[in-house]
Structure 1
Amino acid sequence: MATEQNEQAQELEQENTEQHAQPQAEDAKSTSEVTVEDLQAQVAKLQDELKYEKARAANATYEAEKTKERLEREADTAKKFALEKFAKELLDTVDNLERAIVAAGEEQTPLREGVELTLKGLLTTLEKFGVVAVDTENGFNADFHQAVGIAPDAKAGEVGTVLQKGYTLSGRLLRPAMVLVGQ
């Protein structure tokens, strides 16, 4: 009886195994087919995501480069024009030294010579740092000259008298030249 029960139990177990094995084999077959299709779809999806991420990374790199270049340009500009306020203040000293030379007259005294040397040294230092006098010889230019009156003896469009010199700092107008212009 025990042997019979064991045999029945084994038969039941074998039947259960066979029943489970058939659907599992069918499931495995359909799963492998679905998995291949799913994997192909997933691969395509991942390739699209990879393209997208590569494009985002390239864009981020491009933006970083542009930002770096912009910051370098801004730093260069800031370096160039950092002296702007200081140079403007020194222009008053240049004007005063030029007035002192005019007031000393034509006589060459040691005092006049000292003022001329001081002015020359100051102008050389300003030029070294990009401060240059505005050209008044080649006619009136509204970008660099400020017309404050009419010079009766000058031709039309030409600078007659320079009342105050103008200066530029690295090509940027620091102070316009105050001039009388011909009509």
Structure 2
Amino acid sequence: MSTEHKSENLAAEHEVAVTQDEVQGVDFEAQLSAALTDLDRARQDVLYAKAEMDNVRRRAAEENDKARKFAVEKFARELLSVKDAMEMALLDQSGNFDALKMGVDLTNKALVSAFEKFELIEVAPAVGDKLDPNVHQAISTEPAQQEPNTIVRVLQKGYTLSGRVLRPAMVIVAAA
């Protein structure tokens, strides 16, 4: 054997011997125990995170239900004062129709005020206005001296809620 080859074998044997010495000095049971402890902690963390996410989902669902259920609460409170005013006008037994008319007029003003607070806006087209299919619903046509598709009569006012059509105004338009 050549000198080079012998020195390579010695180096390889030495590395194995060092590696075996290092292995003998390591406490594998302690390392395994530490790894199992870390694994157990990680499992606990995952379970905690999963439980927390379930709680967040449940709370969000409850809040959504409450929001849906009580979304009109403020609006309903405003309407209560309108109802009270209407009942007071109806209770007036004096026979004075002017007082009754005034009470109904005040009730209407209270209702309009409540509508405005909640962005419930009246769509009241005028005779002669062009038909706007976004906010008007033409329920029939009739011969008229006006331009075709212009409003001849308003049968029912429409309303928008926060810019979105809640009910279109029902109109009759001039025939073509």
Shorter-chain TM-score tier: 0.3 to 0.5
TM-score normalised by the chain length of structure 1: 0.43
Tell me which structure has the larger Cα radius of gyration.
1
Greater helix fraction, Structure 1 or Structure 2: 1
TM-score normalised by the chain length of structure 2: 0.45
